[in-house]
A = this chain, B = another copy of it.
Amino acid sequence: MSTTDEDRQAAELTFNVLAKRCSSRPVLEHMTGKWGTLVIIGLREGPARFNELRRRVDGVSEKMLSQTLHSLERDGLVERIVHSAIPPRVEYRMTPLGVRVTDKLAALAEELEASMPEIIEAQSRYDAEQRA
């Protein structure tokens, strides 16, 4: 049995995102934007409250964290749970959809981390050539 049909179908799906007016493109940009990726990976560590998450993601400002979370919530990847109380207590967690989609993003980050030695070498080579 060949997986040709499966592969072709996957390729078609992937290719679709290249189209400017494809509806998935904004979502992709939310996830892969500067903070989207990092917030997602931070949340995959487990549910977190606002400032807790802020500490996880090194360097994110309140504004950007808030904004990013709203986008991800709107896309249905993240769930916001408010416990009415004083002091306020809000928890963010991945939805099942979020887990499914962001597993792929985490896989990317892992592969990337594992490849860093090779990447750093490539960068050195490139920089040396440019200098010459």
**Neighbouring B residues of A57 by C-beta, 8 Å:** 18
Q: Which of B38, B56, B101 has a CB less than 8 Å from the CB of A112?
A: B101
Asked whether A123 lies within 8 Å of B14 as measured between CB atoms, the reply is no
| Min CB gap A60→B, angstroms | 9
CA distance in complex: A120, B15 (Å): 19
**Neighbouring B residues of A90 by C-beta, 8 Å:** none
Asked whether B74 lies within 8 Å of A123 as measured between CB atoms, the reply is yes
**Neighbouring B residues of A116 by C-beta, 8 Å:** 23-24, 27
Instruction: Tell me the residues in window 89-115 of chain A with beta carbons closer than 8 Å to chain B beta carbons.
Output: 97, 100-101, 103-115
Asked whether B115 lies within 8 Å of A101 as measured between CB atoms, the reply is yes
Q: Which of B21, B100, B112 has a CB less than 8 Å from the CB of A115?
A: B100
**Neighbouring B residues of A38 by C-beta, 8 Å:** 17-18
CA distance in complex: A68, B21 (Å): 21
Asked whether A107 lies within 8 Å of B107 as measured between CB atoms, the reply is yes
New A-B contacts (17) at CB < 8 Å, excluding given A13-B109, A20-B59, A76-B121:
A16-B113, A23-B116, A24-B109, A24-B112, A24-B116, A27-B112, A27-B116, A27-B119, A28-B108, A28-B112, A73-B126, A75-B123, A76-B125, A97-B115, A97-B118, A101-B112, A104-B108
